[in-house]
Amino acid sequence: MKYVKFILCLLFGLMFINAGLDKFFHYNPVPKPDEAMQKIYAAFTELSWLMPLVGAVEVVGGLLFIFPKTRALGAIVILPVMVGIVLHNLLKYPTTVGITISLVCAVINLWILIDNRKKYEVLLS
C-alpha cells in the first residue's frame, strides 16, 4: 500500500507540475476551443496575473505533493485548484475523459487530505 500511495502521489504531483509549467511555456497542444470556451479563455487573459499564479501554485503544490514529508501541505495547496478543475469539468466543459481524470485526481487529493488529518488538527484547534 505504501508503494501504491507513493506512485499515485508521484504521478499526481508530476501531472500538476506539468500543467503548471505549461501555463508559463505553452508546450502542450491545445484543441480548438468552442465559442463558450473562447469566452472563458478571453476572461482569463483579461486577468493577466491569474494564469501565472495558478501555474505557480500547481508547480509548488505538485512538488510538495511528491515528497512524503511535505505531502500534507501539498494537498492543501492543490485543493483550491483541484476544486476549480472539477467544477470546470462538470459545469463548463463536460467531457467523459475530463470529468473522469478530474474526479480521479480529486479522490487522490481527498485521500491524502484524510490520510493526513492528524497534521491538520493543529490548524483547526
Write the pLDDT tens digit of every residue in 80-116. 999 999 999 999 878 889 899 999 999 999 999 999 9
Higher pLDDT, 18 or 32: 18
Alpha-carbon distances, residue 52 vs 6, 58, 72, 89 (angstroms): 28, 10, 23, 21
Instruction: Read off the pTM.
Output: 0.92
Flag whether pLDDT at 36 surpasses 90.
no
Q: Could you tell me if 61 and 81 are in contact, meaning their C-beta atoms sit under 8 angstroms apart?
A: yes
Q: What is the distance between the alpha carbons of residues 9 and 3, in angstroms, rounded to a whole number? A: 10
Q: 63 and 13 in contact (C-beta within 8 Å)?
A: yes
**pLDDT, tens digit, 9 for 90 and up, residues 45-91:** 899 999 999 999 999 999 999 999 999 999 999 999 999 999 999 99
Cα within 13 Å of Cα(65), Cβ side:
31
